[in-house]
Structure 1
Amino acid sequence: MSTSWPGSSLSGSAPPGPATFAGRAGGKPWLTLPALTNSLLGIGGLIVLLLLWWLGTDVLASSQGFIRQFSPTTAIPELVTMLGQPDLLVHVLVSLRRVLIGLALALLIGVPVGLAVGSYSRLNTATSPAFQFLRMISPLSWMPIAVMVFGVGDQPIYFMLAFAAVWPIMLNTAEGVRRLQPSWLSLADSLAATRWETLCYVILPGVLGHVLTGLRLAVGIVWIVLVPCEMLGVSAGLGYFILDTRDRLAYSELMATVLMIGVLGFLLDAGARMLYQAVTRSRAA
């Protein structure tokens, strides 16, 4: 029985089966019929959602109903118009900057703490009740305290986003450490590897998949928390823009902004999923 380092090119892995790739051309996988079918089913689900939105706000609504203001027949053309103007782009970039900073802070805190908690059982026993208690507190409940401590501006938003994102990253990292194959650590000991070498060449590559899983979960949580955070004490961002459209009674712009938030959240999740799949495939190659 052979033992190999995680992430090493010498690690044994079965070649991709026909359900995954139809073949390789120039090192790139081909699309297969199951993958194409799944894509078409996903697009079909989005079309059904759009049809339900249209039926509920246009076809089935009364001709003078207020809900018609939120119909896709008005929101989608308005979104196309807004995309050609600089205002929406500014708010999008501000929101994305806050998300990236919040996720970066969560990674800087969550990964080291997760490595420590996963490596030492006594530390895990001592911190688990406290972490579970803090994890169950809604990040939005910290909003008044964050504003009083950090003041009005971006700092309280960074705090709340990092607080929301740190738990899935930390807990998944700790679980990844606990699931490391003991043979990898034994091999590192037999080769007289230092703790730093073991961390860099064994533990971190071994838990990378779990870290990325936690990151994907954190992206979804942060994107949900972001909008209400931006409704307090800031002058830019998608959450602020929603309040601005409401105050101006620009309901078509409001619904277009909501649609934009959904599209961006979908793309962020897709990007995190693609990153995870790319890392997984590179390790299996």
Structure 2
Amino acid sequence: MTAARLRPLLTVVVLAGAFVLWWVLSAGSEVYFLPPLSEILDTFLDTWVFERVAEDMLPSLARMLGGLAIATVLGVAGGLLLGSVPPVRRACEPIIEFMRAMPPPALIPFALLAFGIGDGMKVFLIATGCIWPVLLNTIEGARVLDPLLRDTALSFRMTRKDRMLLAILPTAAPYVFAGLRTSVPLAQIMMVISEMVASTDGIGYSVLQGQRQFAYAEMWAGILLLALLGVILNGGLTLLERLVFRSRWPSGSSVTS
């Protein structure tokens, strides 16, 4: 069996072993905030498989994906412009460096004043936290455009729009996905923080309410759900990346970043 085929099997074995160890060590636990895994799983099935999907899970996913979509569109568009126009990039670099150094949670007071406690505040915070990896990676991808490809585009007298879409964007695509791999976990983090600070629904809100109401099995069930969502989102992004590059390079050549 090759290493590539062995890796998924090894991952499953390690995860299964970790859950078995957790089950054994937590069985009969008398620590009130560390309930047995069996109780957590029962609560997970009762709470998240049916009862709270529409009430808490779907609103959280909508906020996270909405903020991530806004960050992706703005980050890719801004990155292509800044990466392909050096004078504009040099002029904007100090502002970008200043803004990306600001921790996104520091904007929570402003977001509350500007948007209230509704979905707008949460989407704003998620987009603000996710945009920088996409923007910076897209800038770098646009900067490394092959000179031969650039000269070819110029020789065909392609418009700036066509050069962006047909030459620069395909070159920057691996960098965009590299930025997204960083932005997706950030989106989940900002979703949880925003829902814990000011919300009446959502997974983050549910986890915090479980802690406040001493419903620790419910709290851990929410944490387990967040971990599963992170794995699913990361796997979905990896699959999307493979599909995009497979359709562009059907010969099977790999793209790494």
Q: Same fold (TM over 0.5)?
A: yes
Aligned to 2:160: 195
Aligned to 1:43: 12
The 5 Å alignment of 1:1-285 reads: 33-54=2-23, 57-58=26-27, 64-69=30-35, 71-285=36-250
Q: Aligned pair count?
A: 250
Q: Which amino acid aligns with 1:272?
A: L
- Indicate conservation of the 8 Å contact 2:80/2:164, yes or no: no
Residue 52 of structure 1, CA deviation: 4.8
- Structure 1 residues 268 and 84 mapped into 2: Cα distance closer, same or farther (>3 Å)? closer
Q: Which amino acid aligns with 2:9?
A: L
> Which is greater in Rg?
1
Residue 92 of structure 1, CA deviation: 0.9
Cα distance in 2, alignment partners of residues 106 and 191 from structure 1: 33
Which deviates more, 206-215 or 49-58? 49-58
Runs of 4+ in 1 over 4 A off after TM superposition: none
- Structure 1 residues 54 and 138 mapped into 2: Cα distance closer, same or farther (>3 Å)? farther
- 1:211-264 deviations in Å (ceiling 9; x for gaps): 122122111111112111101332111011112222332211111111011001
Q: Which amino acid aligns with 2:63?
A: R
Question: Structure 1 stretches of 5 or more lacking a match?
Answer: 1-31
Cα distance in 2, alignment partners of residues 238 and 68 from structure 1: 19
Q: Which of the pair is proportionally richer in helix? A: 2
SS at match of 1:91: helix
RMSD of aligned Cα (Å): 1.9
Identity of aligned residues (%): 32
- Structure 1 residues 194 and 65 mapped into 2: Cα distance closer, same or farther (>3 Å)? closer
- Indicate conservation of the 8 Å contact 1:115/1:177, yes or no: yes
SS at match of 2:52: helix
Residue 122 of structure 1, CA deviation: 2.5
Q: Which amino acid aligns with 2:116?
A: G
- Structure 1 residues 56 and 229 mapped into 2: Cα distance closer, same or farther (>3 Å)? farther
SS at match of 2:197: coil
TM-score by length of 1: 0.81
- Indicate conservation of the 8 Å contact 2:33/2:216, yes or no: no
- Indicate conservation of the 8 Å contact 2:108/2:125, yes or no: yes
SS at match of 1:103: helix
Question: Structure 2 stretches of 5 or more lacking a match?
Answer: 251-257
Q: Which amino acid aligns with 1:228?
A: I
Q: Which amino acid aligns with 1:45?
A: V
- Indicate conservation of the 8 Å contact 2:34/2:216, yes or no: no
- Indicate conservation of the 8 Å contact 2:67/2:124, yes or no: yes
Cα distance in 2, alignment partners of residues 241 and 66 from structure 1: 18
Aligned to 2:253: none
SS at match of 2:128: helix
- Indicate conservation of the 8 Å contact 1:57/1:67, yes or no: no
Residue 56 of structure 1, CA deviation: 5.2
